[in-house]
């Protein structure tokens, strides 16, 4: 039993990371109907921004709380800026073209970031400074949770609630929701569609960067290709929850994280990557709109 | 004047010949011997390719310092082809080395999966390949042109099993291995067989895929089985993270590994979690061997004082053994040796020359290498001792040396 609970803790931690990345996929899809394949690489960039910042702030890696917060926030801002540039330079020019063109562009941007990362940061894995040293908390029944795991879960939760607040209770959130219904109608109401799209990209990129830093704090090894698998899995998580649906992305991420950990713990680790795609196929077969997604008739 | 079509064809043909001549004029003009090298200069285990490149470079510098010639022929600088740490790219890289660069011999790879992908190409082309540090037994079984200068995983697995059972006196060990690596699978099997033979039990068996970042699920499952030690026959990138996460789950016993742990990054990534862990290796830097210390000094001179790892030492030895074989061929049979020149590429003369070179490498006996005395056995493997390294206070310390028990295997 204690082993199961421990695995559950592991699964929730990893699931919150998937959820954070999945949110970016789902928001961009909700607004643009674009699957932003470069999203996983933004997650990688976030980790690298954190790496450089943490080394610059504390060359001797003296851990401190306020510093960790600065590292997290500035990495998010940096990744937000990259998200802004990518949207303006790569996606905006092809927005009037077919959806396929945008998809191919997304794949191109993803490859650019991965190989640019190899060129710029070097291909070998980097050691992420220990800005928060690990401590263990015993929850009883043999279950332990580290302070890093707690931080991952809490920060993810805060960011998700923050996103919910922005989308539901602010003017810009209202505009986002309007744009996701119809670009034309929103434009007619005086909403600057371009600005909202850019805002969505920046917001999504910031969440992905936060996920990158959180993972790097927990598992201090980062490399330029680290975003590929988590990116794909988070995409599956977004589809699982119902792509375009924000609570769905969170739910999908958690389901995915827990499913993976349970598969590793009780079945076989070789199935870890397979389970994500088995879930994807199953959901596409039986509930194409995802767990929380609504079926909408699409005019063809 | 009316030109006959025949004359036109003749003109065109002469033009083509001229271009062809001009094309190879720059390179083909001088005679030289080309040696190929491939490795993971980029990729997740990039220190392997980088260290191999640097070890080869030290050997080549020594040759260049003495004139850069073997048997009167220039040896071209050995520039490595990058295989990005992927088996399919290793095959492509070696195709290029063999067919395009016309190399007479090839040095590479570290990871067994990549050596295995490249070996058939060298074998079919009749070009000797010396792997500096692929320890999986299957590598040299690819054919009689494939050699190695390191020990094998069956020996290494036995060394670690012996160390665990008899030096550490542990009975219950769990294994966490990499499903994507031939090396890891081989080493795990040899360790398990040997350890069970010594009266130990394998209490848990879990795996991961190289590139994974989170091993908590596997470690939680393993810890539930109460092992005294965990054997992690993978590469250094994952081993460091695994150590960290193992300590996080509350596991206090030693982690054990093989030569895949040999990298300066291991302790950087693993940090304090690596203390009290052991792994088998090709050398211990603090051993007082003169060949070893000579190489370490040369390496430090060339690379601004940075310390070599064993991968670099093995690459140095592989290159030096190749040079020694070429030197011997040049003195014993200069006529055949001339076939190695770049101007004979693609001829039968070249085929005979590489075959003779192969024979010379196969006869290597008691070669005094930086990684110990190397003898190539009839299966084209090196028979040599292994050391066990203990990590203490963030430093790699020599613990024990184990010699091969039966040279037959």
Give CA separation, A132 vs A54, B251, B338, in Å. Answer: 11, 20, 63
Determine the pLDDT at residue B24. Answer: 45
Chain B CB contacts of A10 under 8 Å are 214, 216-217, 220
Chain B CB contacts of A11 below 8 Å: 217
State pLDDT tens for residues B245-256. 999 888 999 999
Three-state helix/strand/coil letters over A167-234:
HHHCHHHHHHHHHHHCHHHHHHCCCCHHHHHHHHHHHHHHHHHHHHHHHHHHCCEECCCCCHHHHHHH
pLDDT of residue A58: 66
What tokens does A271 get?
């199935």
Chain B contact for A97, CB < 8 A? no
Tell me the C-alpha distance between A26 and A180, whole Å.
11
Question: What mean pLDDT do residues B292-301 have?
Answer: 93
Which of A215, A265, A269 has its CB closest to that of B213? Answer: A215
SS3 annotation, A42-103: HHHHHHHHHHHHHHHHCCCCCCCHHHHHHHHHHHHHHHHHHHHHHHHHHHHHHCCCCHHHHH
d(CA B31, CA B344): 9
* pLDDT of res. B342: 85
Is B20 exposed, middle or buried, given 0-12, 13-18 or 19+ CB atoms closer than 10 A? Answer: exposed
Split at pLDDT 50, 70, 90, the class of B23 is very low
Judge: A6–B220 Cβ closer than 8 Å, yes or no.
yes
- pLDDT tens per residue, range B128-180: 999 999 988 889 999 999 999 998 888 999 999 999 999 999 999 999 999 88
Asked if the Cβ–Cβ distance from B265 to A265 is below 8 Å, we say: no
Task: Give contacts of B42 with chain A, Cβ < 8 Å.
Answer: 118, 123
Q: Looking at residue B7, what is its pLDDT?
A: 57
Instruction: Tell me, yes or no, if A215 comes closer than 8 A to chain B by beta carbon.
Output: yes
Q: In terms of DSSP H, where are the helices of B225-375?
A: 236-248, 265-270, 290-302, 310-332, 334-337, 348-362
Spans in chain A with pLDDT lower than 70: 58-64, 294-300
DSSP state of A294: P
B237 → closest Cβ in A14, A221, A269 = A221
Q: Do B43 and A130 touch (CB under 8 A)?
A: no
Contact by Cβ (8 Å): A131, A68: yes
User: A290 in the Ramachandran plot: left (φ > 0), alpha (ψ -120 to 50) or beta?
Assistant: left
- Tell me what pLDDT residue B56 has: 94
B32 pLDDT more than 70: yes
Q: What is the mean pLDDT of residues B76-80?
A: 85
A and B: number of Cβ contacts within 8 A? 91
The DSSP code for B98 is I
Instruction: Flag if A10 and B43 touch (Cβ within 8 Å).
Output: no
- Retrieve residue B147's tokens: 């050699």
Q: Give the percent of chain B with pLDDT over 70.
A: 92
* Res. B10 pLDDT band, cuts 50 70 90: low
Contact check, Cβ <8 Å, A260/B217: yes
Structure tokens at A142: 């043999």
d(CA B143, CA B129): 10
Instruction: Spell out which residues of chain A touch residue B43, defining contact as CB-CB under 8 Å.
Output: 123
Q: Do A265 and B221 touch (CB under 8 A)?
A: yes
Please state the φ and ψ torsions of residue B342, each to the nearest 5 degrees: -60, -25
What residues of A are in contact with residue B209 (Cβ under 8 Å)? Answer: 269-270, 272-273
How far, in Å, CA of B309 to CA of B144, rounded? 29
Query: Given the structure tokens 């969170």, which residue do they identify?
Result: A250
């Amino acid at each position: 039993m204690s082993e199961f609970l421990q695995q559950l803790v592991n699964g929730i931690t990893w699931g919150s990371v998937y959820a954070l990345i999945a949110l970016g996929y789902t928001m961009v899809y909700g607004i643009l109907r674009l699957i932003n394949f470069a999203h996983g690489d933004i997650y990688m960039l976030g980790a690298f921004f954190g790496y450089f910042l943490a080394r610059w702030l504390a060359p001797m890696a003296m851990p401190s709380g306020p510093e960790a917060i600065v590292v997290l926030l500035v990495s998010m801002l940096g990744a937000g800026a990259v998200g802004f540039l990518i949207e303006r330079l790569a996606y905006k020019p092809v927005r009037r073209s077919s959806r396929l063109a945008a998809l191919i562009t997304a794949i191109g941007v993803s490859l650019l970031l991965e190989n640019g990362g190899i060129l710029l940061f070097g291909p070998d894995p980097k050691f992420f400074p220990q800005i928060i040293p690990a401590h263990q908390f015993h929850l009883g029944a043999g279950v332990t949770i580290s302070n890093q795991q707690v931080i991952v879960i809490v920060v993810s939760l805060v960011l998700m609630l923050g996103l919910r607040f922005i989308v539901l209770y602010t003017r810009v959130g209202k505009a986002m929701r309007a744009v996701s219904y119809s670009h034309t109608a929103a434009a007619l109401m005086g909403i600057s569609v371009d600005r909202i799209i850019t805002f969505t990209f920046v917001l999504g990129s910031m969440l992905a960067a936060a996920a990158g830093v959180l993972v790097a704090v927990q598992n201090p090894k980062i490399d330029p290709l680290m975003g590929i698998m988590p990116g794909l899995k988070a995409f599956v998580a977004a589809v699982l929850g119902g792509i375009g649906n924000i609570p769905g992305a969170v739910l999908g991420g958690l389901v995915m994280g827990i499913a993976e950990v349970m598969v590793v713990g009780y079945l076989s680790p070789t199935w870890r990557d397979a389970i994500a795609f088995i879930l994807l196929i199953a959901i596409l077969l039986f509930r194409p709109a995802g767990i929380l997604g609504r079926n909408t008739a699409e005019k063809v | 004047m009316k030109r006959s079509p025949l004359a036109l064809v003749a003109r065109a043909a002469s033009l083509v010949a001229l271009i062809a001549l001009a094309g190879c004029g720059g390179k083909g003009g001088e005679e030289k011997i080309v040696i190929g090298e491939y490795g993971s200069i980029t990729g997740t285990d990039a220190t392997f390719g980088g260290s191999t490149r640097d070890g080869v470079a030290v050997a080549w510098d020594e040759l260049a310092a003495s004139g850069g010639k073997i048997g009167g022929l220039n040896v071209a600088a050995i520039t490595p082809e990058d295989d990005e740490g992927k088996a399919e790219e290793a095959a492509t890289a070696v195709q290029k080395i063999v067919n395009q660069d016309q190399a007479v011999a090839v040095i590479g790879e570290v990871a067994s999966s990549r050596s295995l992908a490249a070996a058939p190409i060298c074998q079919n082309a009749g070009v000797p390949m010396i792997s500096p540090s692929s320890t999986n037994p299957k590598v040299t079984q690819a054919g009689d042109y494939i050699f190695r200068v390191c020990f094998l995983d069956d020996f290494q697995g036995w060394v670690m099993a012996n160390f665990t059972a008899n030096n550490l006196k542990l009975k219950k060990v769990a294994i966490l291995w990499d499903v994507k690596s031939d090396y890891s699978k081989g080493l795990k099997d040899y360790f398990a067989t040997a350890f069970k033979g010594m009266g130990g039990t394998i209490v848990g068996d879990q795996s991961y895929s190289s590139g994974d970042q989170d091993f908590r699920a596997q470690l939680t499952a393993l810890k539930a089985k109460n092992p005294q030690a965990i054997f992690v026959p993978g590469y250094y990138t994952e081993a460091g993270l695994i150590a960290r996460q193992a300590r996080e789950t509350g596991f206090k016993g030693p982690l054990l590994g093989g030569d895949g742990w040999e990298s300066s990054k291991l302790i950087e990534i693993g940090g304090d979690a690596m203390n009290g862990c052991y792994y088998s290796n090709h050398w211990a830097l603090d051993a007082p061997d003169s060949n070893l210390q000579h190489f370490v000094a040369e390496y430090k001179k060339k690379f601004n004082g940075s310390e070599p790892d064993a991968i670099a030492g093995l690459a140095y030895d592989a290159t030096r053994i190749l040079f020694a074989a070429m030197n011997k061929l040049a003195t014993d049979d200069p006529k055949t040796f001339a076939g190695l020149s770049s101007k004979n590429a693609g001829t039968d003369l070249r085929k005979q020359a590489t075959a003779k070179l192969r024979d010379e490498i196969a006869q290597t006996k008691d070669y005094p290498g930086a990684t110990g005395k190397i003898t190539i056995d009839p299966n084209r493997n090196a028979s040599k001792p292994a050391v066990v390294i203990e990590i203490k206070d963030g430093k790699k310390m020599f613990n024990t040396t184990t010699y091969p028990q039966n040279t037959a295997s």
